[in-house]
Amino acid sequence: MRIRMLAPVALLTAGLAACTSAVPLSTPTPTPTFEPRAAAPVNTAAEIVGTWTLVDPSDGMSATITLRDSGMWEGAYECGGINGEWASLGDAFLAMSWGGDMGCIDNIDPQPSLEWVEKTERIVASEDGWTLTDAAGAVTGSLTGGTLESEPPQDEPIQPLPQGFTVGHVEGRWAPIVETPGDSYVEFGTGVWQSSDGCNGNGGRWVDLGGGYLLATPSSISTMIGCENVPVAEWVGAARTAGFDDEQLVLFDSRGVELGRLIAAT
């Protein structure tokens, strides 16, 4: 287990903050295709909310991990506590780590680095819990001995894209279609996303699940500067499908409720 850790939140979010002049990123080239709406992935998240023993095969170290319904996770390690965000849909599982106790950190890199967090993309049921793997199927961790929440969240089905929306590529930078967009944007990069509400940066991990479905970790860390505050990060963290209305990228939550519209940023 490699652990590097926390400095004040301002240091952690400096790299995400969009109030600085960002380096120009790739411009999206949406290519909508008229594909049929795919069946929704099974929502496994409700089955894994609870407390587990996590074993990291990279070093054999174990920790007690609690996965909260809010999308937060907390880990009890020998060095102290570490926490972050997580999301799961179907066999996809993503996590981020962002904070923890001083005993687990150094002052060089403010963000904790954990093998299972950085590499896990899939989750598979096992005899005594769940197995975490990377995209190629290599084991990145195991969750065993689970104590589930006494009242687990309802396992509501994920609604597919509404009729009339097409499936396309969402990689690249997008600007929200709002009355006062300011400098707000979201950038979908390779496996990671970053955004700004106009002056506060945010980000996380994401994956395209195909058929218009996507999964992104929520993000609760940002700088705190007053501005127009377009809630782009909230849209991304809550989105479970993404489709195109002509050249507009439209994000929907698990119930099929529209969260926001964006257009390719130039």
Question: Residue 149: phi, psi to the nearest 5?
Answer: -60, 140
3 state SS of 238: helix
Distance CA 119, CA 264 (A): 29
Per-residue model confidence as pLDDT tens digits over 181-236: 888 999 999 999 999 998 888 999 999 998 999 999 997 555 555 566 899 999 99
Which CATH number goes with the domain that contains 71? 2.40.128.270
What is the identity of the amino acid at 85?
E
User: 82, 113, 148 — which closes off a domain?
Assistant: 148
Q: Are 114 and 100 in contact (CB under 8 A)?
A: no
Q: Are residues 55 and 133 in the same domain?
A: yes
Name every residue whose Cβ is closer than 8 Å to that of residue 168 and which is 6 or more positions away in sequence.
30, 31, 32, 33, 243, 244
Q: CA 68: distance to chain centroid?
A: 14
pLDDT tens profile 25-35: 445 544 444 44
Q: Is 1 domain-assigned?
A: no
Domain shared by 165 and 223, yes or no: yes
What's the number of CA atoms in the CB half-sphere (13 Å) around residue 94?
A: 18
For residue 162, tell me if it sits in a domain: yes
Residues 138 and 234 in one domain: no
Average pLDDT of 257-261?
Answer: 97
What are the start-end ranges of the H helices in the chain?
9-14, 45-48, 115-119, 232-238
247 in the same domain as 190? yes
Residue 223 lies in a domain: yes
* 173, 126: one domain: no
Res 25: pLDDT: 47
| Residues 35 and 54 occupy one common structural domain | no
**Of 106, 122, 148, which marks where a domain is finished?**
148
CATH of the domain at 235: 2.40.128
Is pLDDT at 46 greater than 90 in this prediction? Answer: no
User: Within a domain: residue 9?
Assistant: no
What is the domain extent for residue 195? 18-40+157-264
Look at 17-21, 104-108, 210-214, 250-254 and tell me which has the smallest mean pLDDT. Answer: 17-21
Q: Model confidence over 122-133: pLDDT tens digits?
A: 999 998 899 999
49 in the same domain as 35: no
State how many domains the chain has. 2
